């Protein structure tokens, strides 16, 4: 039997809609970070309009979360943003960067899906910075530090011509982005053949940046979402040191197999710990939030020792 690299938390799912003090239909796809010794989680919820908002929950141990009384991000009323957030805000990722916490999230509107960038320093107030992509981009994640003097991000544009792939871009100021290139593609007849997208913001390891991404396989019974790992060179993250051939997590528990969208595990966040492990968070079937742990070195070794081509 292949070794399981992710140990599921015994108390999964760790958050469901019954834990939320305002009316929502789902809780899923959560970004998580450590702030002031606590774990802060931003999670997506569907409302009964079918549109999404983003809530906040807090935890002492990274597994037992308490949701805050009000949502944290709802569609903006500010003129610069409201037109592009009209249909909702989704899939937040949190990146600690230069003393603040930057949040990338998907903004939906009649024009398509873009990426919003917002910022908080206290998880109480929120400042929207900019819309940093045009349509149609999703799954934008920031690296937690500047590399060679520039901010760096991964994202996943949509196109009819190529299976949806992971791209890299750079910025001098977090607002203006360019020098983009495709760096990881789905592989034909492989678990991620339909499309891939960045998941958790990259984690620095001594061998490279660890990127936990999602990959999708089409079946006669719909798409299956799984998670995989890739390793990017520390001082040049456009260079891929390895993409693990096999997935690290697939839908297995009942709340990952049957639900709002069947057979989905989807990550927006992982928290590295001082002991060399990480806590990984994923949405199950677009309905609940689950957690697990992994040994960072084992994920890095999988990228390096059992690799498939990046493009
Ligand atoms: C993707 C996004 C995610 C979602 C996943 C599975 O396209 O919409 O938010 O979790 O599909 O439905």
State pLDDT tens for residues 129-165: 999 999 999 999 999 999 999 999 999 999 999 999 9
Give the pLDDT band (50/70/90) at residue 2. Answer: confident
Q: Which of 251, 266, 287 to mutate to test the pocket of ligand 1 (most atoms within 8 A of CB)?
A: 266
**Residue 36 CA, ligand 1 centroid: distance in Å:** 31
Would you say residue 291 has pLDDT above 70? yes
Let me know the angle formed at the C-alpha of 204 by 157 and 297, rounded to the nearest 5 degrees.
110
> Which residues are near ligand 1 (CB < 6 Å)?
29, 90-91, 225, 261, 264, 266, 283, 286
Residue of 286, 288, 289 with the most ligand 1 atoms within 8 Å of its CB, for mutation: 286
101-110 in b/e burial notation, b at 16+ Cβ within 10 A?
bbbbbbbbbe
Ligand 1 atom with least separation from CA of 264: 6
Distance of CA 51 to the CA centre of its chain: 19
pTM greater than 0.75 (yes/no): yes
- Look up the CATH number of domain 9-308: 2.115.10.20
The Cα–Cα gap between 276 and 293 comes to 10
User: What is the pLDDT of the chain when averaged over all its residues?
Assistant: 97
Ligand 1 atom nearest 260 alpha carbon = 12
Please give the Cα distance from 121 to 192 (Å, whole number): 36
**Ordered alpha helix ranges (H), 165-295:** 254-257
pLDDT digits (tens, 9 = 90+) for 175-196: 999 999 999 999 999 999 999 9
**Closest C-alpha residue for ligand 1 atom 1:** 266
Task: Count Cβ atoms below 10 Å from residue 112 Cβ, excluding itself.
Answer: 16
Closest ligand 1 atom to residue 261 Cα is 12
pLDDT digits (tens, 9 = 90+) for 219-267: 999 999 999 999 999 999 999 999 999 999 999 999 999 999 999 999 9
pLDDT-based confidence at 3, cuts 50/70/90? confident
Q: Which two tokens stand for residue 185?
A: 């593609």
Report the DSSP beta bridge partners of residue 127.
119
Q: Distance between CA 35 and CA 96 in Å, rounded?
A: 9
Which residues does residue 229 pair with via DSSP β-bridges, in sequence order? 212
Count CA atoms closer than 13 A to 70's CA, side-chain side: 6
* Residue listed under structure tokens 């997208």: 197
Which of 264, 289, 290 to mutate to test ligand 1, by most ligand atoms within 8 A of the CB atom? 264
Q: What percent of the chain has pLDDT over 90?
A: 99
CA distance 51 to 255: 22
Ligand 1 centroid, distance to 43 Cα (angstroms): 13
The number of the ligand 1 atom at minimal distance from the alpha carbon of 283 is: 10
Under a CB-based contact definition with an 8 Å cutoff, are residues 290 and 9 in contact? Answer: yes
Task: Name the residue with the closest Cα to ligand 1, atom 7.
Answer: 138
**Mean predicted confidence (pLDDT) in 95-105:** 98
Q: Residue of the nearest CA to atom 4 in ligand 1? A: 286
- Kindly indicate the confidence band of residue 1, based on its pLDDT and cuts at 50, 70 and 90: low
CA of 166 to the centre of ligand 1 (A): 16
Give the integer Cα–Cα distance in Å for 225 and 257: 10
CA of 44 from ligand 1 middle (Å) equals 11
Cβ atoms of 43 and 55 closer than 8 Å:
yes
Report the atom number in ligand 1 closest to the C-alpha of 106: 9
At 150 the pLDDT is 98
Name, in order, each residue with C-beta under 8 angstroms of 195's C-beta and a sequence gap of 6 or more: 156, 163, 164, 165, 186, 215, 216
Say what the pLDDT of residue 307 is. Answer: 97
Beta bridge partners of 211: 230
């Amino acid at each position: 039997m292949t070794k399981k690299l992710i140990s599921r938390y015994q108390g999964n799912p760790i958050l469901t809609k019954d834990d939320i003090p305002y009316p929502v239909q789902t809780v899923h796809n959560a970004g998580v970070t450590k702030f002031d010794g606590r774990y802060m989680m931003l999670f997506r919820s569907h409302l009964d309009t079918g549109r999404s908002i983003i809530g906040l929950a807090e935890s002492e141990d990274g597994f037992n979360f308490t949701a805050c009384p009000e949502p944290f991000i709802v569609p903006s009323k500010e003129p610069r943003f409201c037109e592009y957030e009209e249909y909702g805000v989704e899939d937040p990722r949190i990146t600690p960067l230069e003393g603040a916490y930057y949040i990338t999230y998907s903004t939906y509107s009649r024009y398509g899906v873009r990426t919003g960038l917002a910022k908080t320093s206290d998880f109480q107030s929120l400042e929207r910075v900019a819309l940093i992509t045009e349509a149609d981009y999703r799954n934008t994640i920031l690296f937690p530090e500047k590399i060679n003097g520039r901010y760096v991000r991964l994202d996943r544009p949509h196109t009819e011509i190529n299976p949806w792939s992971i791209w890299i871009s750079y910025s001098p100021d977090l607002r203006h982005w360019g020098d983009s290139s495709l760096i990881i593609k789905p592989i034909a007849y492989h678990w991620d053949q339909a499309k891939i997208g960045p998941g958790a913001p990259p984690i620095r390891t001594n061998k490279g940046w660890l990127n936990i991404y999602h990959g999708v396989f089409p079946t006669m019974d719909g798409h299956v979402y799984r998670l995989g790992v890739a390793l990017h060179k520390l001082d040049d993250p456009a260079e891929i040191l390895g993409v693990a051939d096999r997935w690290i997590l697939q839908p297995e528990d009942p709340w990952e197999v049957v639900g709002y969208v069947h057979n989905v595990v989807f990550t927006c966040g992982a928290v590295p710990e001082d002991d060399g492990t990480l806590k990984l968070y994923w949405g199950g079937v677009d309905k609940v939030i689950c957690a697990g742990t992994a040994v960072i070195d084992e994920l890095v070794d999988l990228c390096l020792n059992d690799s498939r081509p990046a493009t």
